Structure 1
Amino acid sequence: MIVRTPSGLVRGRFDGTVASFLGVPYAAPPFGEHRFGAPVPPPAWDGVRPALLPGAAAPQRATDDIGLYAPEVFASGEDCLNLDVHTPDPGAAGLPVLVWFHGGAFAIGGNGAAWHRGHRFARDGVVCVSANYRLGFEGFLALDGAPLNRGVLDWLAALEWVRSAVAAFGGDPGNVTIAGQSAGGAACATLLTIPRAAGLFRRAIVMSGSASLAVSAQRARGYAGELAARLGVRPAREDFLTIPPAALVAEQPPPLSGGESGALSGAVPIQPVVDGELVPSVPLDALRAGVGGHIPLLVGCTGDEAGVFVRAMARGIDEATAAAVLAQMGLPPGYRDAHPGLSPEELVGRAAGDHLFRRETIWIEEARAATASAPTHAYEFRWESPVPSPIGGGKVGAAHNIDLPFAFDVLDAPGVERTAGQRPPKALAEAMHGAWVRFARDGDPGWPGYDRARRQVMIFDTESEVADDPLRPQRHLLREP
Structure 2
Amino acid sequence: MVVHTVSTGAGKLSGAHTDGVTRFLGVPYAAAPVGDSRFAPPAPAERWEGTREATEYGATAPQPGLHPAHTYLAPLVGPGWVTGDGHYLNLNVWTPDPGTSGLPVMVYIHGGGFMIGSGSAPAFDGTAFARDGVVLVTVNYRLGAAGFLALPGGSTNIGLRDQIAALHWVRDHIAGFGGNPDNVTVFGESAGGTSVAFLLHSPKASGLFRRAIVQSGHDEMARPLALTEKLTHALAQRLAIPTTAVAFRAKPEAEMFRAQAALLRNEPRPDLRDDNGVDPGHRRALFLPTTGDDVLPDPIGVPSTHSHDVDLMIGTTREEANLGLGADEFAGFDACRAVAELAATYPDAEALLDRHGLHDPAATAAHALTSAYTDLLFRSPSRRTALRHPGRSYVYEFAWRAPQHGAAHGLDVPFVFDTTDACRVLIGEAAPDALTHAMHEAWVGFATHGAPGWPSYGDTRKAMRFDADPQLCADDAPLDIGAEFLPDATSTTQSSSRADHKNRTPIVGA
* TM-score, normalised via structure 2 length: 0.85
Map 1:176-187 onto structure 2 (within 5 A).
176-187=184-195
Structure 2 runs not aligned, ≥5 long: 267-278, 486-510
The 1-side partners of 2:479 and 2:224 are apart by 27
The answer on 1:381 being equivalent to 2:402 is: no
The number of aligned residues is: 459
The 1-side partners of 2:150 and 2:438 are apart by 42
Match of 1:390 in 2: none
Match of 1:397 in 2: 406
The answer on 1:470 being equivalent to 2:488 is: no
Q: Report how far residue 23 of structure 1 moved.
A: 0.1
The answer on 1:70 being equivalent to 2:74 is: yes
Match of 1:301 in 2: 316
The answer on 1:319 being equivalent to 2:323 is: no
Q: Report how far residue 241 of structure 1 moved.
A: 2.1
Residues 436-479 of structure 1 show CA distances to partners (whole Å, capped at 9, x for unaligned) of: 0000101000000001x5301000000110012333xx335564
Map 1:37-436 onto structure 2 (within 5 A).
37-65=40-68, 66-71=70-75, 72-77=78-83, 78-253=86-261, 264-266=281-283, 269-282=286-299, 284-287=300-303, 291-309=306-324, 310-325=326-341, 327=343, 329=346, 330=348, 333=351, 336-337=354-355, 339=357, 340=360, 341-368=362-389, 372=390, 374-387=391-404, 396-413=405-422, 416-436=423-443
The 2-side partners of 1:46 and 1:210 are apart by 42
Native 8 Å contact 2:380 2:480 kept in 1: no
- Segment drifting more, 62-71 vs 400-409: 62-71
Cα distance change of structure 1 residues 475 and 141 upon mapping to structure 2, 3 Å threshold = closer
Q: Report how far residue 428 of structure 1 moved.
A: 0.1
Q: Report how far residue 290 of structure 1 moved.
A: 5.2
SS where residue 446 of structure 1 aligns?
Answer: coil
* TM-score, normalised via structure 1 length: 0.90
Cα distance change of structure 1 residues 91 and 477 upon mapping to structure 2, 3 Å threshold = same
The answer on 1:7 being equivalent to 2:10 is: yes
Native 8 Å contact 1:331 1:478 kept in 2: no
- The counterpart of 2:448, out of the listed 441, 445, 451, is 441
Cα distance change of structure 1 residues 435 and 255 upon mapping to structure 2, 3 Å threshold = farther
Native 8 Å contact 1:70 1:115 kept in 2: no
Q: Report how far residue 325 of structure 1 moved.
A: 4.2
- The counterpart of 1:460, out of the listed 463, 466, 473, is 466
Native 8 Å contact 1:13 1:20 kept in 2: yes
Structure 1 runs not aligned, ≥5 long: 388-395
The 2-side partners of 1:198 and 1:421 are apart by 40
Q: Report how far residue 356 of structure 1 moved.
A: 1.4
Native 8 Å contact 2:376 2:481 kept in 1: no
Residues 339-397 of structure 1 show CA distances to partners (whole Å, capped at 9, x for unaligned) of: 444222111111122221112212212323xxx2x21010000000113xxxxxxxx10
The 2-side partners of 1:235 and 1:19 are apart by 46
Cα distance change of structure 1 residues 254 and 67 upon mapping to structure 2, 3 Å threshold = farther
The 1-side partners of 2:338 and 2:192 are apart by 30
Q: Report how far residue 236 of structure 1 moved.
A: 1.0
Residues 25-75 of structure 1 show CA distances to partners (whole Å, capped at 9, x for unaligned) of: 001100123221111111111111010111111000111242542355324
The 1-side partners of 2:17 and 2:321 are apart by 39
C-alpha RMSD of the superposition: 2.3
Residues 205-228 of structure 1 show CA distances to partners (whole Å, capped at 9, x for unaligned) of: 000012122222222222222322
- The counterpart of 1:17, out of the listed 20, 23, 48, is 20
Letter in 2 for 1:385: A
- Give percent identity, aligned residues only: 38
